[in-house]
A and B are shown apart, each in its own frame.
Chain A
Amino acid sequence: MDGATTAPDVIAGEASSSVERPLARVPLVLNKRSFDWVTNRISGAVENPTPRWWWVAFATTSGLALFGLLCIGYQISTGVGVWGLNSPVGWAWDITNFVFWIGIGHAGTLISAILFLLRQKWRTSINRSAEAMTLFAVICAAIFPGIHVGRVWMAWFLAPVPTQYGIWPNFRSPLLWDVFAVSTYFTVSVLFWYTGLVPDLGTLRDRATSKIKKFFYGIFALGWRGSNRHWRHYEMAYMLLAGLSTPLVLSVHSVVSFDFATSVIPTWHTTIFPPYFVAGAIFGGFAMVLTLMIPARAIYGLQDIITPQHIDKMAKVILLTGSIVSYAYAMEFFIAWYSGNEYEKFAFYNRIFGPYWWYWWVGMLFCNFISPQLFWSKWCRHNIYVVYFVCMCVNAGMWFERFIIIVGGLHRDFLPSSWGLFFPTWVDIWTFAGTFGIFTSLFLLFIRFAPMIAMSEVKIVLPEADPHHATPEEHHVIAAGGKERT
């Protein structure tokens, strides 16, 4: 039987008796919520007066963001020397942070595009906020390559602009591919996100109480009126954007990994990097989605929409991608030994026992490999505190992983005479902290001004949205005929 049509009858007994009825599906929205409830609950988060915690949180994060921007200003006006970069470690926190943030973005696109193509209906509860997270993470990521070039006013050299100099960027360089990949990724993510937002902005427009709100939501809703002749083209566009984003998201982190893989540094010069980086990006990104969504669902009372089932599924994705990443870690060691390359072998020995040993033991081994193993247990996947702990481990672990790859590769290369360590300065530290401020400030603004859950999409997964669903009158007849609840 089709799950959608059976759902209304099994909802009531579902939560308690799923063991007795293994074939009954747990509904995606709990407690038989109506369309109106979905609209009110999600729009309410935007329409209700700004809660006090929001101001406190926003003041803190925007203060942090402001200080981070001051650090960037100081770095630009003084020079990259204010960071701890020097020979031999010419890339350190800047590129680590870039790869870290861009990786976080990947989960949003995976949820919004790949899970859409795979018809995973549970994505509807989380795709909007995950996509917003993508945009904000990419903004944070784009800051670092922009400022680490040193002379930022020369950054336009990256763009293929015809000038009187007659100088063109090198289109064969992975660094230029990166510019194209990241800027395309950001642009397409914005288009996809905004396309998804339009019907929900229409909802906010129709519910707006003040003239100013009606004006601005009206402008951004583009005059959306839910016409089926519109939905027809809209759905096709949405599906095509999902189809375009799917290879795009896989390409972005592959291109990021080319920055390393096309060089000759031991531990960088490997063909495993593209899939390894993409899996790691989704792994770290899902942890960040949960980091944001678990508090948000508690604060805004969205437990019926973002259910334990959703968290369970995201935990499974973390376990899967974590396993892929762990396999890649192991394979790197195997290949280092199997290749017989002395430098490669030393680099991996150095990864475990060298000066940055604890980054590997804590970051890669504990945070990225051991902690997700808890998700084999259903109890752990359903315990919010355990899930949150693992997500925090993964967030940290993925940053450590990028640091190990980048600085670990550079600090001890071929000649022992050129070895050296990296020490971050206060500017390094506060610039990174500042990007967390930017990220969380933007996310707080997002949940204040836009619906954080895609209302029109959540409504589709309700049983009443099915045109072959029994009408209310028929439903009462069924209910009277012996089912447990009307």
Chain B
Amino acid sequence: MITPSGNRVYGMAAEYSSASALYEAAKQVRDAGFKRWDVHSPFPIHGMDAAMGLGKSWLSAVVLCGGITGLTTACILTFGPSSFLYPLIVHGKPFNFWTVPAFFPIMFELTVLFSAFAAFFAWQAMNFLPRWNHPMFNWERFKRVTNDGFFLVLEARDPRFSENEARELLERTGGQHITVVHEE
């Protein structure tokens, strides 16, 4: 969507007075059938995922893969040198499979290490971060989002989006300072 002055429109945004007002608004927007929209808040609001119609995050699956990779790496790292590359009896421990308890600490540590890296990079990748520019930052009021501002934005690329309908919906749900957010 493009405004008469030639700016591309990212969406229509509104500010809400409190977390509970935003929560109630989100439920109404969800029920109105919007798909491309988001809420912004200074902290995660309890129950907001359900209010937005979002399911459980599948980030845990990535972390599980990370953990399995870590465990496999540890197995190769410990058994490789100890059993094949440089087999040597130390501490009177054998170098066959039954020396495995001596490798538990390293297996544990690498499982945790790889899982943690998976979690760390997954939450950024799944959120498309780092991304230092974003249309929402063009709105001056949006600076309060990391302080005490509660915002809801309906994106222009949503098939249900039309300027009048969006404005009407935001007004009906109690949104204030309703504004059109531009892409640039």
Listed in ascending order, the chain A residues whose CB lies under 8 Å from chain B are 34-36, 39, 160, 166-168, 170-174, 176-177, 180-181, 184, 187-188, 191-192, 194-195, 199-200, 202-203, 205-207, 218-219, 222-238, 240-241, 244-245, 247-248, 251, 255, 258, 455-457, 459-460, 464-472
Contact = CB atoms under 8 A, between A and B. Distances in A.
Contacts of B110: 180, 184
B116 interface: yes
B112 A237 contact: no
A34 B148 CA distance: 9
A231 B21 CA distance: 18
Given A230-B129, A251-B108, A36 B116 contact: no
A218 B132 contact: yes
Contacts of B72: none
Interface in B46-100: 46-49, 51-52, 54, 56-57, 59-60, 63, 77-78, 81-82, 85-86, 90-91, 93, 99
Q: Which of B19, B82, B117, B145 has the most CB of A within 10 A?
A: B19
B132 A219 contact: yes
A206 B146 contact: yes
23 contacts: A172-B90, A177-B106, A187-B116, A188-B112, A188-B113, A199-B42, A223-B129, A225-B40, A226-B145, A227-B40, A228-B39, A231-B41, A232-B49, A238-B123, A240-B115, A248-B109, A251-B109, A459-B148, A465-B19, A466-B20, A467-B23, A467-B46, A468-B20
Nearest to A235: B44
A233 B122 contact: yes
B59 A240 contact: yes
B4 interface: no
A174 B103 CA distance: 10
Interface of B: 17-24, 26, 38-49, 51-52, 54, 56-57, 59-60, 63, 77-78, 81-82, 85-86, 90-91, 93, 99, 102-103, 105-106, 108-110, 112-113, 115-117, 119-120, 122-124, 126-127, 129-134, 136-137, 142-148
Given A226-B40, A228-B39, A241 B119 contact: yes
A467 B19 contact: yes
Contacts of A202: 146
A39 B147 contact: yes
Nearest to B152: A228
Contacts of A468: 20, 23
Contacts of A170: 90
A171 B47 contact: no
B59 A237 contact: yes
Contact of B136 (A187, A225, A455, A460): A225
B55 to A, nearest CB: 9
Given A180-B110, A251-B105, A244 B77 contact: no
Given A171-B81, A228-B49, A471 B20 contact: yes
